[in-house]
Chain A
Amino acid sequence: MDKGLQLISREEEWVKIIELSGEITKSDEVSPDQILPPNQEIKAVVFNFSRVDYINSAGIALLIRVVRLAREKPVAVLAHGVSSHYQKIFQMVGLTNYLYIYPDEATALAAAGLIH
């Protein structure tokens, strides 16, 4: 029944861009270190949520663990492609104070300091 979570990542200069797809439903499905490896020198990570169709509270916990690691580094966390429903959920939880949501990738990259 579980689709699981798939990640495809690429880098543009100091920004790591991660396309998420599937479901974010397990707090330990991916280690935050896999998303932000210790030896990777980046200043921002941009998540694309447009192919994520289900996030539950355990998935929110995973995002919190990523934000926790990003704050330690420090790395800015940005996102786009978040549906209006999940934007609302992130806002309720308070996550939008740490994970900044933009309408599309270009805007998110511009906010991260990359102008295209």
Chain B
Amino acid sequence: MNESVGQEDKIEIRIPSRTGYEKVAMVVAEVIAQKMGMPEARREDLSTALSEAILNAMEHGNQMNEEQQVVVTFSLAADKLLVAVSDQGQGFHPPEGMPNLEDKIEGNSPARGWGWFLMEQLVDQVEVVPSANGGTSVRLVVMLEGKVTQTNG
């Protein structure tokens, strides 16, 4: 880990449930991940997974109620970064199985519904736990030496 990053540091930000504000958390994640020495491809994966977790919390957890916040907590450890995304709403059940693109293209199922799948693909671990304030927390774990998803570039 980079020397400027404490091994037990916690950083928390609170954002209203309004689309677009997820980018604030993405910028914070980028700065933290860079300081932890994550390579660019991994930082981009984290950024996309985090944006999906936050949009999920805004839409499904907080029902887009702008008075309800999404709390994003970054917990830094020597070997990993844990990001908890908590809503203040009614809870959220992750979908099971991979979305079927052919079904979506044929119009047999809605074109949306990729968020959870992308989170699962892009970080080392993702889980849903009840949050302290009655809502739901999605916990994303990125290991510093973890998987690096394949790129074409």
Contact = CB atoms under 8 A, between A and B. Distances in A.
B118 interface: yes
B151 A87 contact: yes
Given A88-B151, A89-B118, A56 B111 contact: no
B18 interface: yes
B112 A27 contact: yes
Contacts of A88: 149-152
A25 to B, nearest CB: 7
A22 to B, nearest CB: 12
A54 B47 CA distance: 10
B152 A91 contact: yes
A35 to B, nearest CB: 14
A84 B44 CA distance: 10
Contact of A57 (B21, B44, B106, B115): B115
Interface of A: 1-2, 25, 27, 54, 56-58, 60-62, 64-65, 67-68, 71, 83-85, 87-89, 91-95, 97-98, 101
25 contacts: A1-B20, A1-B21, A2-B19, A2-B20, A27-B111, A54-B51, A57-B52, A57-B112, A57-B114, A58-B55, A60-B111, A61-B111, A61-B113, A61-B114, A62-B111, A64-B111, A67-B105, A84-B152, A85-B44, A85-B48, A87-B152, A88-B151, A89-B118, A93-B99, A95-B101
